[in-house]
Amino acid sequence: MYDEKIVEQAIKIHTETYGTKPTAVAYAPGRIEVLGNHTDYNEGTTFSCAINMGHCFCISASTEPGVRLTAGDLLKTISFDPKNDDRLDKKVQWANYVKGVMFYMHGQNISIDSVDCTFLGSIPMGAGLSSSAALEVATAFAVLEYTGKELGKKEIGILAQAAENNFAGCNCGLLDQFSSIFGLHHGLIHCDFRTLEIYPVKLPADIVFLMINPHIKHALVDSPYNERRISCEKAATEFDALLDHPVKTLRDISLKEFDENRNQITAEAAKRAEHVISEITRVEKGVTLLANNKLNEFAQFLFDSHETSRTAFENSCVELDLVVEAARTAGALGARLSGGGWGGSVVAIVHANEADVICKKIIEICKTKGLEPTAEIIIPSDGATVIKQNTIHVM
């Protein structure tokens, strides 16, 4: 299952722009982070899912050397040499994700040249739904299809993460890329970012997610994201010197060890570590809760997660706090900020038959507080895929 409309539109724009149909087309979804905030780069664990919105990437051959790339929403085309290490280009930032992926693929002998490309996405920008990871993954899948080369799915995720780290400048972990690649229809994925193992988790049939977006600016590259990552690494180094077992990352510290020793490390690093270590603990407990169908208790962890985001990691903001409280009042089972923070959206778990009513209520409550959020019902969806064009009809 993929967003057919966006694929049809992308193919149409590609055909009109270059006068020829694409020969390789791929689609990759965005994601919601359900639990395990800022744990991925600390070798922790998460629950997430791919969503029913994504990016489509199209490729056809051209006679000119290099890559021509069209952003389907802006109808702007640029050209570049995919062999160039063109990182952190401030002029055309939307192209950096694609340039990064193609550059790293070239480094793995998956070279692409003399091509025309188009991308188009249905994920709202800045909503915290990982539109950038979806673009990176869609690019990689399309390049593999076009070149006929192969690369393992985990390797694709790692390569896309390198593009985001070095070409877009956000030192993110692997959560977004893995969610986009390994998503499951009506399921969650439970990822372990130490072993890179991915476990599918079934969701009760009557559960859906709401994403409530208060529309505040969200750009992880300019946010304190990279600073927080440094603080987490500092906390791990300080604990390594303190505890009688090796600490490589925050994954190696139990909540008990943290509580007993938190006053002995730098106060700022301790606050950041508090959130991450409690998140890893919640995810671990969440595995058993979900396996035993204890959804209400699992959902409560989302409220708890938001609380340590607000007080300890300090990656929330007034608007997200208001939305979480509105969701609680409206009867959501759980709600929290999803993704990096400092903007983006709130994810809430609700019973499917209550979704519309709760959605409406949240919006009403938010309006009384001066916010104008939008809310969407999200269906957990399958991960990235190559699209065979005989299965689609172009308008």
Active site residues: 176
Q: Which is nearer to ligand GLA, 340 or 373 (CB)?
A: 340
In whole angstroms, give the CA distance from residue 185 to residue 203.
Answer: 10
Alpha helices (H) in 164-266, listed in sequence order: 175-182, 225-242, 255-261
Q: Which is nearer to ligand GLA, 103 or 193 (CB)?
A: 193
| Number of residue whose CB is nearest ligand GLA | 172
Q: Which is nearer to ligand GLA, 22 or 30 (CB)?
A: 30
Provide the token pair at 70.
């069209």
Residues 175-204 interacting with ligand GLA (rule: CB under 6 A): 175-176
Q: Which amino acid is present at 159? A: L
Nearest distance from C-beta of residue 176 to ligand GLA, angstroms: 4
112 binds ligand GLA per the rule CB under 6 A: no
Residue bearing tokens 């988790």: 201
Q: Which is nearer to ligand GLA, 22 or 339 (CB)?
A: 339
Burial of 320 (0-12, 13-18, 19+ CB in 10 A): buried
Q: Are 42 and 236 in contact (CB under 8 A)?
A: yes
Q: Are 287 and 43 in contact (CB under 8 A)?
A: no
29 binds ligand GLA per the rule CB under 6 A: no
Nearest distance from C-beta of residue 193 to ligand GLA, angstroms: 9
Burial of 288 (0-12, 13-18, 19+ CB in 10 A): exposed
37 binds ligand GLA per the rule CB under 6 A: yes
Query: Which of 100, 173, 183, 214 touches ligand GLA by CB under 6 A?
Result: 173
Q: Are 103 and 163 in contact (CB under 8 A)?
A: yes
82 binds ligand GLA per the rule CB under 6 A: no
The H or E element spanning position 4 is helix 4-18
Query: Which of 172, 191, 273, 276 touches ligand GLA by CB under 6 A?
Result: 172
Q: Which is nearer to ligand GLA, 23 or 165 (CB)?
A: 165
In whole angstroms, give the CA distance from residue 2 to residue 56.
Answer: 10
Residues 135-164 interacting with ligand GLA (rule: CB under 6 A): none
Q: Which residues contact 88 (CB under 8 A, 6 or more apart)?
A: 96, 166, 167, 168, 169
In whole angstroms, give the CA distance from residue 281 to residue 260.
Answer: 16
| Interface pattern 336-375 for ligand GLA (x via CB under 6 A) | ---xx-----------------------------------
40 binds ligand GLA per the rule CB under 6 A: yes
Provide the token pair at 171.
């030192």
Part in contact with ligand GLA (CB under 6 A); list of ranges 95-103, 170-178, 240-248, 301-309: 170-178
Q: Which residues contact 124 (CB under 8 A, 6 or more apart)?
A: 53, 131, 213
Nearest distance from C-beta of residue 31 to ligand GLA, angstroms: 8
Nearest distance from C-beta of residue 138 to ligand GLA, angstroms: 16
Nearest distance from C-beta of residue 168 to ligand GLA, angstroms: 10
Nearest distance from C-beta of residue 160 to ligand GLA, angstroms: 11
Q: Which is nearer to ligand GLA, 196 or 357 (CB)?
A: 196
Which residues sit at the interface with ligand GLA, rule CB under 6 A?
Answer: 33, 37-38, 40-41, 130, 172-173, 175-176, 339-340
